[in-house]
Amino acid sequence: MPTTVSVKTTRRIDMIDITSTVQKEVSTTGVQDGICVVYVPHTTAGITINEGADPDVCEDIMAKLSELVPSHRGYRHTEGNADSHIKASLMGSSVSILVENGRLLLGTWQKVFFCEFDGPRTRKVLIKVLD
């Protein structure tokens, strides 16, 4: 069974660093060498890996996504969140990270980000560590 963690978002569009939560789950399983899959079971949220050192990187990503996919642009899906679905697909719904010596094998500047596109909400992230 995967572990389900809860992520609370506070803006309509938001990127939240969940790296420490994911690493904690890896440590809990005791897996030394394997793969960690992080999956978002939502249609208007996504997950990505990118730079965590400079918060402006995430701000730039969110601003550019909003520029490319404006919130109102004559979409066929009339729930008011058509742009959220498109942004979620652009980011993707899962990432896989190699685990070595019990640690996520991320690059120096890499962090795992939960991407909210129709918040604020309380969301779920599923984490599974494979041996």
Closer residue to Zn ion in complex, CB, 21/81: 81
Shortest CB 121 distance to Zn ion, Å: 13
Shortest CB 88 distance to Zn ion, Å: 10
The footprint of Zn ion (CB under 5 A) covers 79, 81
Closer residue to Zn ion in complex, CB, 33/79: 79
Cα 16 from Cα 31, distance rounded (Å): 25
The residue of the chain with the least Cβ separation from Zn ion equals 79
- State both tokens at 78: 């009339």
Shortest CB 44 distance to Zn ion, Å: 6
Cα 103 from Cα 96, distance rounded (Å): 13
Closer residue to Zn ion in complex, CB, 23/44: 44
Residue carrying the six token digits 């990187």:
57
Nearest to 112 by CA among 57, 54, 68, 51: 51
Instruction: Say what the alpha-carbon torsion angle 24, 104, 92, 14 is, to the nearest 10 degrees.
Output: 50
Nearest to 18 by CA among 104, 88, 130: 104
Closer residue to Zn ion in complex, CB, 23/81: 81
Shortest CB 79 distance to Zn ion, Å: 4
